[in-house]
Structure 1
Amino acid sequence: MAEDLNEELYKALIENKTALADQWLLMREKRPNSIYSVDADEKYEQLLRKQNALTTKTIASSLLEDKKEYHENQEQWVSIVAQSRADLGTPIYEVLEAVHRFRTVIMDFLDKYVAAQEEAISKQHILQWNHSIHSAMDFLIQEFSKKYYQITRERMKAQYDLIAELGAPVIPIGDTTAVVPLIGDIDTERAKRIMETVPAKCIEKQVNKICIDLSGVPMVDTMVAQQIYSIIQTLSLLGIQTALSGIRPEVAMTSVQLGIDLKGIDTFNTLQQALKKMGR
């Protein structure tokens, strides 16, 4: 008996998925640059309808005794919606608001469904349905949040790696010679990235001579000077001959004050001088 009632509610939800989507979409408000805005492009409304149909299917399948369909729908929904919202740059709070609004739509439908069949449905069934639907909605939110976080973290890491690549490019100018033009301020985090990436890139590109050009760095303080010296020492241990160009008077003064010995390192006022010395 209970399974039959669950099956009937499942079918009722599926049969009314279009009406449920209509009601949900009517709850939209105008908000700038949002897929959920009432004036969003038609293609986004069609996307929302398609994904909302899967939401209804997922919630409905949570009522079935056999949970296989529910788990498959839930995994599919999380993957599709999280990827879609990440691609569109939708803030997570907007997604959670939309899910909350659809929860109210589903619960309104349930209230009307129960009212229409009041004599045939016990309080126990009503409590069970409420529990199943709310649990399914809560689990969707939880799993969506995890997946969305995972996607955005992976993208942030990719951007971080790209910034690291662009922040200290090792530019080959010959078979075994390269230049590292440093441009802009160098803080602790950037200095750490340079330390991590430059030696590895030199090995990868089979470089044995390199010139680090500082002419684009507006200020070289104590920390920067120490980090550059550490990079040069690391490269030296790897058998890579290192030269410095763009050495301005204030840079030289900072190095002297820190007691950093640059006697064993070729230093030049300009990159052109360094390349000429390196035979380029």
Structure 2
Amino acid sequence: MKVSEKFYEFMKERTWQLTEKWYESLDKSDPSGVYASKDTKVIQTLKEQNHAFHERFCHLFKDVGQDRLCNFELWIEEIAKDEEHLQTPTHFILREFFRTQDQYLAILKEFIRLHGSEFTLDETEFLRELIINTFSIVISKFAEENYEYSQRRLKAQQEMIRELSSPVILLNKKTGVLPLVGDIDTGRARYILENTLNECVDKNVEHLFIDLSGVIMVDTMVAHQLFQIIESLNLIGVRSTISGIRPEIAQTAIQLGISFENISVTSTLERALNEQQ
């Protein structure tokens, strides 16, 4: 029997034992993440995920010629997009990969102690290299997948924040208000422009009040884009009234050569709404 086949037989009987030992030795004092969970369902899922890894890893020794990455792709994808793991710091997850690798090296050491006389040093060294190289491949692929899913998740969260931070609120059937709050960078300004135009069209807004009293600071590029919103609204037939312009924003607009001649401006949103009535 080949050394890999012998090790496969040795390993397949110990997969659940590996999982239980791994969880028992797990540092459950992490400040956050899946490994610190006390939820029994989360813990059971975590153990099942760990055991599924062992089953795939064990199978490598039965067929050493197979594509090692292919054997783990579905498992890696599942873990990388798993919500509990996405909420776990990546260095905690990598720590557990290396702890699991240590488990395999320890069990290989036990295998050599019991069966080493049956095989050459090169044969047992082959097993050690297979373990280390496979972990390297899996960890690298997981890090790549985890990063991609994290970026998608972050982008989705940013989109949601942008939507919530620049809503067109209807005051009546034809009038809306756009309250802007916080710092506005170029990316957010671009989103506000696109979103505001779309919302005004969708909601049939004819008069939009844009309140800037909550905007602390903008740079020259952003100021230019904000006033582009007014020009764009005018092109689609929406009248605009600006309220709450801070002195520094007004100065930036003047420096840019932006004319307020055809723009309705009031000091406060309350005053703008009263005048509209």
Structure 2 length-normalised TM: 0.83
Gaps of 5+ in 1: none
The residue that corresponds to 2:17 in the other structure is 19
**Mapped pair 1:245 → 2:235:** no
- Counterparts of 1:72 and 1:187, CA distance in 2: 43
Correspondence list, 1:237-276, <5 A: 237-247=235-245, 255-256=253-254, 258-275=256-273
How far apart are residue 175 of structure 1 and its match? Answer: 3.5
- Counterparts of 2:144 and 2:218, CA distance in 1: 42
- Counterparts of 2:45 and 2:237, CA distance in 1: 57
Give the secondary structure class of the aligned counterpart of 1:117: helix
Correspondence list, 1:194-233, <5 A: 194-218=192-216, 225-233=223-231
8 Å contact kept, 1:244–1:268: yes
The amino acid that maps onto 1:164 is R
How far apart are residue 247 of structure 1 and its match? Answer: 4.4
Assess, with a 3 A threshold, how the Cα gap between structure 1 residues 259 and 214 changes in structure 2: closer, same or farther.
same
Assess, with a 3 A threshold, how the Cα gap between structure 1 residues 74 and 243 changes in structure 2: closer, same or farther.
same
Q: Deviation digits for residues 46-67 of structure 1, max 9, x if unmatched?
A: 3332222112112111223376
**Mapped pair 1:41 → 2:61:** no
The amino acid that maps onto 2:55 is K
The amino acid that maps onto 1:36 is Y
Assess, with a 3 A threshold, how the Cα gap between structure 1 residues 80 and 278 changes in structure 2: closer, same or farther.
same
The amino acid that maps onto 1:138 is S
Give the secondary structure class of the aligned counterpart of 2:82: helix
The residue that corresponds to 1:32 in the other structure is 31
- Counterparts of 1:67 and 1:237, CA distance in 2: 66
Give the secondary structure class of the aligned counterpart of 1:32: coil
8 Å contact kept, 1:243–1:274: yes
Give the secondary structure class of the aligned counterpart of 1:18: helix
The residue that corresponds to 1:131 in the other structure is 129
Choose the corresponding residue for 1:64, options 49, 62, 82.
Answer: 62
- Counterparts of 2:46 and 2:273, CA distance in 1: 58
How far apart are residue 95 of structure 1 and its match? Answer: 0.8
The amino acid that maps onto 1:153 is Q
How far apart are residue 16 of structure 1 and its match? Answer: 0.6
Aligned residues: 275
Correspondence list, 1:67-86, <5 A: 73-84=71-82, 86=84
How far apart are residue 249 of structure 1 and its match? Answer: 6.6
The amino acid that maps onto 1:154 is R
The residue that corresponds to 1:53 in the other structure is 51
Q: Deviation digits for residues 1-57 of structure 1, max 9, x if unmatched?
A: 43xx433322321211122223323433343334435xx526254333222211211
Assess, with a 3 A threshold, how the Cα gap between structure 1 residues 66 and 201 changes in structure 2: closer, same or farther.
farther
- Counterparts of 1:248 and 1:21, CA distance in 2: 61
The amino acid that maps onto 2:35 is Y
The residue that corresponds to 2:101 in the other structure is 103
Assess, with a 3 A threshold, how the Cα gap between structure 1 residues 267 and 154 changes in structure 2: closer, same or farther.
same
- Counterparts of 1:87 and 1:201, CA distance in 2: 36
The residue that corresponds to 1:174 in the other structure is 172
Q: Deviation digits for residues 135-189 of structure 1, max 9, x if unmatched?
A: 2211211121122112211111011111211221111233443211112343444
**Mapped pair 1:6 → 2:4:** yes
Assess, with a 3 A threshold, how the Cα gap between structure 1 residues 117 and 181 changes in structure 2: closer, same or farther.
same
Q: Deviation digits for residues 106-159 of structure 1, max 9, x if unmatched?
A: 111112112211232233322332232222211211121122112211111011
Choose the corresponding residue for 1:141, options 126, 139, 142.
Answer: 139
8 Å contact kept, 1:247–1:269: yes
Assess, with a 3 A threshold, how the Cα gap between structure 1 residues 135 and 164 changes in structure 2: closer, same or farther.
same
How far apart are residue 232 of structure 1 and its match? Answer: 1.2
Structure 1 length-normalised TM: 0.82
Give the secondary structure class of the aligned counterpart of 2:208: strand
How far apart are residue 92 of structure 1 and its match? Answer: 0.7
Assess, with a 3 A threshold, how the Cα gap between structure 1 residues 267 and 60 changes in structure 2: closer, same or farther.
same
8 Å contact kept, 2:34–2:85: no
8 Å contact kept, 2:81–2:146: yes
Aligned-residue identity in percent: 32
Assess, with a 3 A threshold, how the Cα gap between structure 1 residues 87 and 107 changes in structure 2: closer, same or farther.
closer
8 Å contact kept, 1:164–1:197: no
Assess, with a 3 A threshold, how the Cα gap between structure 1 residues 85 and 107 changes in structure 2: closer, same or farther.
farther
8 Å contact kept, 1:222–1:254: yes
How far apart are residue 81 of structure 1 and its match? Answer: 2.1
Correspondence list, 1:159-170, <5 A: 159-170=157-168
Assess, with a 3 A threshold, how the Cα gap between structure 1 residues 70 and 249 changes in structure 2: closer, same or farther.
closer
Assess, with a 3 A threshold, how the Cα gap between structure 1 residues 48 and 210 changes in structure 2: closer, same or farther.
same
